[in-house]
Amino acid sequence: MCGIVGYIGKDNAKDVIVDGLKRLEYRGYDSAGIALIVDGEIFTYKKQGKIRNIEVELRRVPVYSNVGIGHTRWATHGKPNDVNAHPHLDCTKKIALVHNGIVENYAELRRELTEKGHTFTSQTDTEVIVHLIEEELKHSSDFFTAFLSAVKRLQGSYAIAVITLHQPDTVFVARKDSPLVIGLGEGENFVASDVPAFLSYTNRVIFLDDFEIATVTSSQVSVFDLNGERVGKQTVTIPWSLSLAEKAGYKHFMLKEINEQPRAVADTISGNLSWLRKETELEGIDLNSFNRIQIVACGTSYHAGLIAKFYLENIAKIPTEVDYASEYRYRDPIVDEKTLVISITQSGETADTLAAMRLAKKERAKLLTICNVIGSTATREADTVIYTYAGPEISVASTKAFTTQLTALFLFTLYLSRERGTLSSEEVERYLRELMELPSKLETFLNLEKEEGVVRKIALEFYRAKDALYLGRHVNYPIALEGALKLKEISYIHAEGYPAGEMKHGPIALIDENVPVVVVATKGKVLEKVISNIEEVKARKGRVIAVTNPSVKKVGELADFILQVPEVDEYLSPVVNVVPLQLFAYYIADFLGYDVDQPRNLAKSVTVE
Ligand code: AGP
C-alpha cells in the first residue's frame, strides 16, 4: 500500500514528512514525493526510487515550510516513474494531493474532466481527484465544500491528503477503506496512513472511519461525515513500540498480511472490474487467438495455478496444463502461437518463472502474467498483465498474494468464459456476486479467530509434531499442498500435501497417533469421498484436523479437531479454506520461537535459478 504523511505546525514540515515517510518504508514502495507551501506557492519534489533520493535533493534546495504532504507510492495504475509519483497538482498548481487506494471510476471521471478542459500529466487513477476538486471549486463557496463534493463522487477505496493555496493553513483529508490516522501534537498536527509515521512526535491519535473527511490546522482537528455534519471522535493513546506499530500491532508481518486478506481480495476485485465489465480494455490479449493454456509458476503461486486449472477447464472449457516453471523450461513443452502461457508471480522477479516466460515467448506463445508488483520484470515482458492489489507482501511466506492470485484468476476465467460463450452474462454476474461476498466472509472468520483462538489452540496441541500430512481433493487438493508448504517453510516441520484419494497408495503407511493429518473437507462434489478418507485415517489411530463447514455434520463427528470456515461456492472455497492453514502454520512457527517473517534459507523473491 502507499504511504501518506501530512504535517501542519511550528516545525519544518519537510523534515517531519521525510522522517515520517521513512518510517512507512516497510509498506513497500517504488517512488516518493513531497509538496510544501513555500512563500505563497506549492513546491513539489517527486522521484521514482527511494526516499533517500528525495532527502539528498531536498537538502540541496533550501525550502522551509510549516505545512506539507508526502507520499510513498506502491504503484497500482501507471508504471513507477517520476511523473506518476505523488503528489499530483491541479491545472492551476494551487492544489496538491496524495492518495492511497483505487479510484474505480477513474476512467469515467478522466473522460469527463478532459472534456471540461483539464490537462492530465500522469497515467494514475489518483490524478483525477485533484482535477475533480479544482472543477468543483468553480461552483463552490469555499474549498471545504469543493473538497466534500469531489470526495462524494469517488468510487473505490481512498485515503486522501490535500494542501492548497486556497486555504494554506489547513490540511484536508478523507478516508474510505484505506486507513488514515490523525496525530495530535502541541501546536502541531499530523496525518498519516499509519501510526509509525508520527509516533516519535505523539501517540495521541484520531482514527478516521470510512466516509469521513477532516480539516486539520496546527491547533484544531474537525471531522465531518459526507453530509458535511460534524462527527465527534474519540482520541486514542497508542501503547505500541515503533516496531509493533509498523506491523499495525501484529507481532509479525505474516499475521498482519493474513488479516489484510479481506481488503486485499476486495481491492483486487475493484482494481480489475473495469476490464471485466469492458469499461476499459484488457490490453494485449485476443481471446480468440489461443485454444489452450499453459500455466507456469513456483511455490505458492504454482498452487494457485493448480486451482486455476479447475476454473479454466471446468468453467471456461479450455484445456489447461500447469507446470513448475523450473520443470517447464526443460521439458521441451509443445508451445505455439495458439498457446496462452499464464505466469503467476507475486514478485514478478522469480528467475525460473521469467525463464519459462522467455521460452514460451520464443515459441510465439502469448503471455499473460498475474502479478502483484507494477513495473516488475514479468509485467514488462508479458503481453498482458492482470494485477493483484494485495499491496506489498513483506513476509517471506506468501499469504495475501495467494488469495488475491486466485481472485484475479477467477476474474479472468469469468471474462474468458463470457467471451467463449461457456457462461452467460447473468451467470458471470452471479459468480461475481459470490466473489464480492468473499471479503466479508474472510473477515468473519478472522474476527472469530481473534475472539476465540480456535486455530491457535489446535496449533498449541501439535507444535511439537515432527511430520504432518495434508489431504485434499479436486479444487482443494492444491490447498493441501499450500497448507503443507506454509508449515514446512516457517516451522521447519516436514509436511506433505497429498491428494486424499492417493493416501492408500503409500502415505497411509505414515499414519499413527503422532502424525497430525489435516484434511480439507468442505462442501463439494467430492465431500463423501473425503469423509471416507477421514475414516481410513481414524481406523489407523490418526488424529484428524478437518477444515470444514458448520453444515457438514459428519466431519464434525469424525474429526478430532475442527477448523470451521464459512460456506462458499466450491470453486471459491480454496480462498477461504487456506486461511486457517496459514494461521495454523503461523502459530506453530511462533510457538517454536522461529523468525516467522524471515525463515532460514528462504528469500522473499528467488531471483536466481
Ligand atoms: C511461498 O510462501 C514462498 N514464499 C514461495 O514459494 C513463493 O511463492 C515462490 O518463490 C514464488 O514467488 P513469486 O510468486 O514471487 O514468483
pLDDT digits (tens, 9 = 90+) for 428-444: 999 999 999 999 999 99
Distance 374 CA to ligand 1 centre (A): 17
Mean pLDDT of the 64-83 span: 89
Determine the Cα–Cα distance for residues 81 and 31; give it in Å rounded to an integer.
Answer: 7
pLDDT of residue 511: 92
In this predicted structure, the answer to whether residue 474 has a pLDDT above a threshold of 80 is: yes
**Owner of C-alpha cell 471549486:** 137
Q: Give the burial class of 579: count Cβ atoms within 10 A of its Cβ; 0-12 exposed, 13-18 middle, 19 or more buried.
A: buried
| Lowest mean pLDDT, pick from 75-84, 123-132, 487-496 | 75-84
Beta carbon of 481 within 6 Å of any ligand 1 atom: no
Distance 299 CA to ligand 1 centre (A): 5
Confidence of residue 600 (pLDDT cuts 50, 70, 90): confident
In this prediction, what percent of the chain has a pLDDT beyond 90? 82
Q: Identify which of 326, 344, 350, 370 to mutate to test ligand 1's pocket (most ligand atoms within 8 A of the CB).
A: 350
Cite the active site residues.
Answer: 2, 604
In this predicted structure, the answer to whether residue 383 has a pLDDT above a threshold of 90 is: yes
pLDDT of residue 1: 66
* Nearest atom within ligand 1 for CA of residue 396: 4
pLDDT of residue 32: 94
Determine the Cα–Cα distance for residues 68 and 87; give it in Å rounded to an integer.
Answer: 10
Q: What is the DSSP letter of 83?
A: T
The DSSP code sequence of 326-362 is HHHTTS-----TTEEEEEEESSS--HHHHHHHHHHHH
Residue 523 grid cell? 462442501
Mean pLDDT of the 32-51 span: 94
- Residue of minimum CA distance from atom 6 in ligand 1: 299
In this predicted structure, the answer to whether residue 408 has a pLDDT above a threshold of 90 is: yes
Mean pLDDT of the 4-23 span: 95
pLDDT of residue 598: 86
Mean pLDDT of the 58-68 span: 89
User: Contact 14/61 with Cβ under 8 angstroms?
Assistant: no
In this prediction, what percent of the chain has a pLDDT beyond 70? 100
Per the prediction, the chain carries an average pLDDT of 94
Distance 454 CA to ligand 1 centre (A): 28
Beta carbon of 489 within 6 Å of any ligand 1 atom: yes
Beta carbon of 299 within 6 Å of any ligand 1 atom: yes
Confidence of residue 500 (pLDDT cuts 50, 70, 90): very high
- Give tens-digit pLDDT for 95-140: 999 999 889 999 999 999 999 999 999 999 999 999 999 999 999 9
Mean pLDDT of the 273-298 span: 91
Mean pLDDT of the 311-323 span: 98
Determine the Cα–Cα distance for residues 472 and 507; give it in Å rounded to an integer.
Answer: 13
Residue 504 grid cell? 492408500
- What residues form DSSP beta bridges with 223? 214
Beta carbon of 397 within 6 Å of any ligand 1 atom: yes
Beta carbon of 417 within 6 Å of any ligand 1 atom: no
pLDDT of residue 601: 79
- Give tens-digit pLDDT for 323-377: 999 999 999 999 999 999 999 999 898 989 999 999 999 999 999 999 998 778 8
Beta carbon of 379 within 6 Å of any ligand 1 atom: no
